[in-house]
Amino acid sequence: MSFGVYVHIPFCARRCDYCAFATWTDRGDLVEPYLAALRADIRAHVADGRLTPATSVFFGGGTPSLVPPEGLMSVLAEIPLESGAEVTVECNPDTVDRHLLDTYVAGGVDRISFGVQSMVPSVLAALGRSHDPENVATAVAAARAAGLRSFNLDLIYGGAGETVADWERTLDAVVDLDPPHVSAYALTVEAGTPLAADPARHPDDDDQADKYLLAEARLTAAGLANYEISNWARPGHRCRHNELYWEQGDYLGFGCAAHSHRAGRRWWNVRTPERYVDAVEQGRPTEAAAEDLEPERRRIEGLQLALRTEAGVPVEALGADDRELLEGLLEESDGRLRLTVEGRLLANEVAVRLR
């Protein structure tokens, strides 16, 4: 049975204008104590049987590639793994070099997710991103040279000032790198971010719809198949850790603000790295809050997640009247309903009608 581990690394060189994650740019002095706390926390979970061998591990953030690679791998070494487990690390292309990737591969990493967002400098600047687009190709070449099994290029579309031509330029540059996996997300406005405070930079729904259709056409033509609304992959390169989330699987989260799920119970850790380190060092629980999902809510959430994927939902998940109303947004085969390309643009409209 699939079981995942998520490890949150909250350190960044610069905070992007759209980011609402638990990340900090001024906590460099906490890197070593934080990594030590992660190791201790993981060991405690292994010792009492809460952490069993994982089928996937995901280091996210933040920017995991900012911390010394040997330190990150010392955390991975504490996590028991099933044979063939997928291990992913998120990286900023500017922070990648051959030593870092060689250290990752030696430590058991087999997949990298590069935060590319755009290949157009003006678009990156509007997003508050700091990396150089030219470093993306260098990072991809280094990943291949290091022998990594797979990698992902992560994109964001719909930022202020991004023209259709800009987005086409990004897609063309990405496809030219022949990636095995691409994620493309519509820019969203999160409360409390610099983006939220500047309505003039908020994305336009119609513009984002047009850009999604461009991404679907360009990536599909390049041989990448859509398997979740925002994700395209070649055979054998899907992100197994994300699939675990979409299937409502069980996973444990380590680090500040990390979320966990087991058998319908969800919980999350204290938000700041200082509080997380202190809790581990003092032997106190790191959990900040939790919720238990009622069976019916869990069932509906499962359908909503499945709708986003190529698996779709059973035909009976929508009434006949709703299926007629949603004509053109769904296609039926083998007793299941799946979103059409146009349906992906209106997935939320379909999801609220699931029963």
- Contact indicator for 63, 10 with CB cutoff of 8 Å: no
Radius of gyration of the chain (CA): 20
Q: Residue 244 half-sphere exposure, CB side, CA atoms within 13 Å?
A: 23
- My answer on whether 175 and 41 are in the same domain is yes
Residue 283 in domain: no
Residue 266 in domain: no
101-135 confidence digits (pLDDT tens): 999 999 999 999 999 999 999 999 999 887 788 99
Residue 286 in domain: no
Enter the DSSP assignment of 157: E
- My answer on whether 313 and 179 are in the same domain is no
Question: Which of 183, 212, 245 is the endpoint of a domain?
Answer: 245
Residue 289 in domain: no
Question: Which of 224, 245, 266 is the endpoint of a domain?
Answer: 245
- My answer on whether 201 and 84 are in the same domain is yes
- My answer on whether 327 and 236 are in the same domain is no
Q: What is the pLDDT of residue 197?
A: 93
- My answer on whether 235 and 319 are in the same domain is no
Q: What is the pLDDT of residue 1?
A: 87
Give per-residue burial for 224-262: e unless 16+ CB within 10 Å, then b.
Answer: bebbbbbbbbbeebbbbbbbbbbebbbbbbbbbbbebbe
The parent domain of residue 318 ranges over 296-351
Residue 178 in domain: yes
- Helical (H) or strand (E) element with 36: helix 31-47
- Give me the number of domains the chain comprises: 2
- Helical (H) or strand (E) element with 213: helix 205-221
- My answer on whether 239 and 326 are in the same domain is no
- Contact indicator for 112, 148 with CB cutoff of 8 Å: yes
Q: What is the pLDDT of residue 166?
A: 98
Q: What is the pLDDT of residue 15?
A: 87
Q: What is the pLDDT of residue 333?
A: 95
3-state DSSP assignment of residue 348 = helix
Residue 276 in domain: no
Helix 31-47 / helix 69-76 crossing angle, nearest 10 deg = 10
Give the integer Cα–Cα distance in Å for 289 and 324: 42
- Omega before 236 cis (within 30°)? no
Tell me how far the alpha carbon of residue 14 is from its chain's centroid: 19
Q: Which residues of the chain have pLDDT under 50?
A: none
User: Which residue has 């998520």 as its token pair?
Assistant: 6
- My answer on whether 166 and 308 are in the same domain is no
**In this structure, what CATH number is given to the domain that contains residue 121?**
3.20.20.70
- My answer on whether 301 and 239 are in the same domain is no
Q: What is the pLDDT of residue 208?
A: 98
Residue 256 in domain: no
Q: What is the pLDDT of residue 14?
A: 87
- My answer on whether 228 and 326 are in the same domain is no
